[in-house]
Amino acid sequence: MNSKRHDIVIIGIGGGALILANILASKGYKVAVFEKSPRPLFYHRGEIIQPYTIAILEQIGLLSHLLKEDIYRFHQVDFYKTTGQQLCTSDYQTLATPHPYGLVSTPELLIRLLLEGAEAKGVRLFWETQFQSVVREGKKVVGVNVARKGDSMTIDAPIVVGSDGWGSPVRNAFGIAARIHPYSGGFLTMGLPHPPHFGNRLRYYVGQEINMGLFPVSTSLLYLLYMVPVGKIKTLYDAGVTAFKQRLLSFNPEFCDVMNDSLTDLHSWDQTVFARCCKVTASSWVVDGGVLMGDAAHAMNPHTANGRNSAIQDAIVLSDVLEESFRKGDFRRQSLYNYESARRPDVTVLQRMGDEMAWVWETGWTPMVFLRDQIFSSLGRHPELMQKFVSTSSGVKIQQFTLRDRIATLLYSIKS
């Protein structure tokens, strides 16, 4: 069995993990990242990059490279009923941030830039490498056992980071308990040709048990996300692609005019991916010598549009905490807990918001559909609440919606 040593071992290659690797490697730490797949795995989807993450990319020198690519910059998100009536607009230009806009890109573009940056900084990347177990001295994690192409390796490191998704074998190896809550709805995603008359905003459509997002990814590509209850996905598949397209085009005449040609390009379910959604609530994010980040610690509903962005925020906070731990030579849970205490409150707000959005946005109950639409349409006439919604959903400033906020929103919706 081979043995090697690094300062930090990260299990799982994702945006947050690679940001963390880039930051720590640039400061002279020996970082190794292990990924079980032979290459990055990407799906038929786009990815919203929120203002906070844009600032981080600028901080580590990658924003200028990203902006040279064919990606989509947006300032506003429009919400519509499926009948075509506009409900409200989320305006990023009202945000108090140096970057009052969002970006939409394909996941592979951002990951490619992060991989290039990591390799240039000396990060060791190990593909097709399976995490097996953690190595302990007493209760303290001091490394990992991994396997690659039949060879086993023990990697010694004072810090092991689990960034291996909501199922997280690393979390299990740490002995951290977690509640995993599967949502009733999943998302069917696909890439389509970008319609020439789509406009310069992102669009969300809501209806009775209908939730759909349309996000331009580039000058040539549009990302469509469509919520499907898990129990109904087989029925959707059995009905066929043609029936699905006909259903979308029946929403309203304007939608049909804009999307008809793009949907003509959809011929097979093989051009789509269906993903179930779940929430992870880990009892702790840290152990002696070990840390969880991203979905391994706190997977959330995609409605928040903050999953990847939250993992990247984890990376920023964690990099500072790890630097302090290395300076002191202290890798105990108490030292690492500063990361969890700084991040968990914001994550909890986003997870709760995701729960509420899943319940309200995906409802098929007619009275709730009516109330939801009334609430959406009244937000535009309540600047304080709209600002809180935009600030939180964009990740610029995470704010808890209070009981008073909810009552005010309800009263505004009733008056309207």
Whether residue 92 lies inside any domain: the answer is no
Beta strands in 101-194 (DSSP E): 102-105, 124-126, 129-137, 140-148, 151-156, 159-162, 178-193
Whether residue 94 lies inside any domain: the answer is no
pLDDT at 43: 62
Whether residue 112 lies inside any domain: the answer is yes
CA nearest neighbour of 34 among 58, 62, 13:
13
pLDDT at 267: 96
pLDDT at 198: 92
pLDDT at 46: 83
Residues 345, 374 within the same domain: no
Residues 224, 288 within the same domain: no
Whether residue 35 lies inside any domain: the answer is yes
Residue that is written with structure tokens 């979905």 in the block: 295
Residue ranges of the chain with pLDDT lower than 70? 1-3, 41-44, 403, 406-407, 409-416
Residues 340, 289 within the same domain: yes
Q: CA 13 to CA 119: how far, in whole Å?
A: 13
Whether residue 32 lies inside any domain: the answer is yes
Whether residue 71 lies inside any domain: the answer is no
pLDDT at 411: 67
CATH of the domain at 287: 3.50.50.60
Residues 304, 386 within the same domain: no
Residues 270, 301 within the same domain: no
**Do the strands 159-162 and 178-193 form a parallel or antiparallel pair, or are they unpaired?**
unpaired
Last residue of a domain, one of 276, 301, 318: 276
Residues 334, 402 within the same domain: no
The SS3 assignment for 153 reads: strand
- Reported as a single tens digit per residue, the pLDDT across 294-351 is 999 999 999 998 999 999 999 999 999 999 999 999 999 999 999 999 999 999 999 9
CATH of the domain at 239: 3.30.9.10
Residues 188, 223 within the same domain: yes
115: domain range?
Answer: 2-43+106-177+283-354
Number of domains in the chain: 3
Residues 249, 328 within the same domain: no
Cβ atoms of 18 and 120 within 8 Å: the answer is no
Cβ atoms of 32 and 6 within 8 Å: the answer is yes
Mean of all residue pLDDT scores within the chain: 92
Residues 289, 335 within the same domain: yes
pLDDT at 406: 67
Whether residue 100 lies inside any domain: the answer is no
Last residue of a domain, one of 316, 335, 354: 354
- Reported as a single tens digit per residue, the pLDDT across 161-178 is 999 999 999 999 999 999
Whether residue 64 lies inside any domain: the answer is no
Residues 185, 173 within the same domain: no
Last residue of a domain, one of 254, 276, 298: 276
Q: CA 258 to CA 277: how far, in whole Å?
A: 29
pLDDT at 410: 66
76: tokens are: 């506003």
pLDDT at 1: 40
Residues 117, 132 within the same domain: yes
349: tokens are: 């707000």
Give 348's DSSP letter. Answer: H
SS3 annotation, 291-324: EECCHHHHCCCHHHCCHHHHHHHHHHHHHHHHHH
Q: CA 331 to CA 290: how far, in whole Å?
A: 8
- Sequential DSSP letters for 213-280: EEEE-SSSEEEEEEEEEGGGHHHHHHH-HHHHHHHHHTS-HHHHHHHHHHHTT---GGGEEEEEEEEE
Residues 251, 330 within the same domain: no
